[in-house]
Amino acid sequence: MFKWHKKGLIFSPNHYSDWMYSHAQCPFTLDLGDYIRVFFSTREKYQDNMSRSYGGWVDLDKNNLKKILRIANKPIMELGNIGEFDEFGSMPNSIIKVNDNEYYLYYCGWNRQVSTPYSWEIGLAKGNDTNYFIKEGKGPIIGPTMSEPYLHACPQVYKFSNNEWHMFYLSGQKWLQGDGKMESQYLLVHATSDNGIDWQRDPTPIIKPKVEYESQTSAAIMKIDNIYHMFFCYRYGLDFRNTKGRGYSIGYAYSKDLYTWIRDDSKAGITVSDSGWDSEMIAYPHITKINNKYVMLYCGNNFGYDGFGYAELEII
């Protein structure tokens, strides 16, 4: 059984700049020695009912996670050119340090559609430091196939041994007719690699849904005593944007081998607050260890519009 003690909001863009106007979605961390760098996806101000997303970061004091040391002054990578899968947005989701001089950044690229509002595919960018990254190519590394024809996004990449790479990402299942717009349904799937570039994909969802047209994303995994513990977020497929109880909640599953997962949301140990910035939904968990404590970063209401906060773990 887990219990997460909420510590409050850390960072909100709050119209910080033209490109970092709102949202700090899908936070994830990199330990840079004296401080923690938190990457996230942010958005520019809406114009003509459209907004592009960019990757940004903030640096936090390890001894006081609410103390912000630095904020990125430009996006961490350029958007794609006309017609490319990331023309309208790049949402960073995971980073792996490959060697002393190179980092792999996995991200979701956004593009506009006609019959549906958007498409998402997974891209790879590389960087010699963590300030700026360059796309590995013009196309995605995870895109449509015969068995996965729809969306692919939010890649969480882990290396549990030198030659063992695991990616957990959302895979679109169908499009649903919502109230005045199309809504996407997606579930978590698993892929493996021996180099972080070429991936062997299994389109079979790994977590059994429990609510109507359930959507799942953000597989945050930690390993304790040879058991893998996953915290993820899930929501209803329809009427989830403004109806409390149907938006994102945190779920939990465990595994001995990263392939077979047993779901038990009763052990998640965290839910919405009675009031405030995370009273309507909690989403996009990320787990890291800071000063020997497990910490969960997560977003709150309106898909991270107000930024992200954190909680500390107690195992009971």
Instruction: Name 45's Cβ contacts closer than 8 Å, sequence gap at least 6.
Output: 15, 18, 21, 22, 51
- Cβ(139)–Cβ(85) under 8 Å? yes
What local confidence, expressed as pLDDT, does residue 46 receive? 81
pLDDT digits (tens, 9 = 90+) for 11-31: 999 999 999 999 999 999 999
Residue stretches of the chain with pLDDT short of 50: none
Domains of the chain by residue range? 2-315
Q: Which two tokens stand for residue 44?
A: 């520019």
Residue 176, amino acid: L
Name the phi and psi angles at 278, rounded to 5. Answer: -125, 35
The predicted structure's pLDDT at residue 179: 82
**Which pLDDT belongs to residue 163?**
83
Q: Is 140 exposed, middle or buried (0-12, 13-18, 19+ CB in 10 A)?
A: buried
User: Which among 306, 153, 133, 137 is positioned nearest to 217, based on CA atoms?
Assistant: 153
In whole angstroms, what is the distance from residue 135 CA to residue 275 CA?
41
How much is the pLDDT for 180?
82
Nearby residues of 156 by Cβ (< 8 Å), 6 or more positions away: 28, 93, 94, 167, 168, 169, 218, 219, 220, 221
pTM score, whole prediction = 0.96
Non-local (6+) Cβ contacts of 279 within 8 A are 272, 273, 300, 301
Q: What three-state secondary structure class fits 310?
A: strand
CATH homologous superfamily for the domain 2-315: Glycosyl hydrolase domain; family 43 (2.115.10.20)
